[in-house]
Chains A and B, each alone.
Chain A
Amino acid sequence: DTGVSQNPRHKITKRGQNVTFRCDPISEHNRLYWYRQTLGQGPEFLTYFQNEAQLEKSRLLSDRFSAERPKGSFSTLEIQRTEQGDSAMYLCASNSIGTRSGRTDTQYFGPGTRLTVL
């Protein structure tokens, strides 16, 4: 169990550019979540997957944002035409619900990707 990993840890980009972040969950976990945390605030839910299916998306996830989890393992979060308001820490978390390994209500978080849009 190596924990949840996220890459890159930091990303600086210019307004209007596209960026993509990757999250690798704990290997046996079937659920994967994305959150966004701005300065001085708690994390806010963006979306989550069970295996490869995206089951819920927040209204915060505008049409410039897209997330995928093609094989039910790692996930990517892409932001197109970045805006300064997208600057935030993007957090990924994972857990297990309804699998043979049981139910893990606790979400385990990765270290986050800090995005700065200039």
Chain B
Amino acid sequence: AQSVTQLDSQVPVFEEAPVELRCNYSSSVSVYLFWYVQYPNQGLQLLLKYLSGSTLVKGINGFEAEFNKSQTSFHLRKPSVHISDTAEYFCAVSDILTTNKLIFGTGTLLAVQP
């Protein structure tokens, strides 16, 4: 079984500052890793994903994430945030063999202030 931990329920940050949203996972098998973003009253949009290869993954809207197998982490970063980045961010895993269900963390609200 897999589990995902997002320790920060809310991250306040000023506009144009850098931000890191933390994600740690637990799994007895190899996994795929994903970050999704959810704007109010909307579905989830994929930001980026790690399937294999380079551990630094670049996604949309200037976000990137680094897969660290030894620390079982997949932290999301952006060097300079905008007001429009205010949203809920979810980290998720799925196991490589079956790639069916996604297991999500509880989410981190990124609150960008002017």
Contact = CB atoms under 8 A, between A and B. Distances in A.
A45 B43 contact: no
Q: How large is the interface on B (under 10, 10 to 19, 20 to 34, 35 or more residues)?
A: 20 to 34
B43 A109 contact: yes
A42 B106 CA distance: 4
B97 to A, nearest CB: 12
Interface string A40-65: 11111100100000011010000000
Nearest to B44: A109
B104 interface: yes
B34 A106 contact: yes
Contacts of B103: 45
Nearest to A9: B41
Interface stretch (B45-53, B64-72, B74-82): B45-53
Contact of A105 (B4, B49, B107): B49
A97 interface: yes
B42 interface: yes
A41 B106 contact: yes
B106 A105 contact: no
A56 B100 contact: yes
Given A48-B101, A56-B100, A105-B99, A42 B45 contact: no
A110 B104 contact: no
A44 B100 contact: no
A45 B102 contact: yes
Nearest to A104: B99
A106 B50 CA distance: 10
A42 B100 contact: no
Q: By CB atoms of chain A within 10 A, which of B44, B46, B51, B105 has the most?
A: B44
Interface of B: 4, 32, 34, 36, 41-46, 49, 51, 90, 92, 94, 99-107
6 contacts: A4-B43, A41-B107, A42-B4, A43-B104, A45-B102, A114-B41
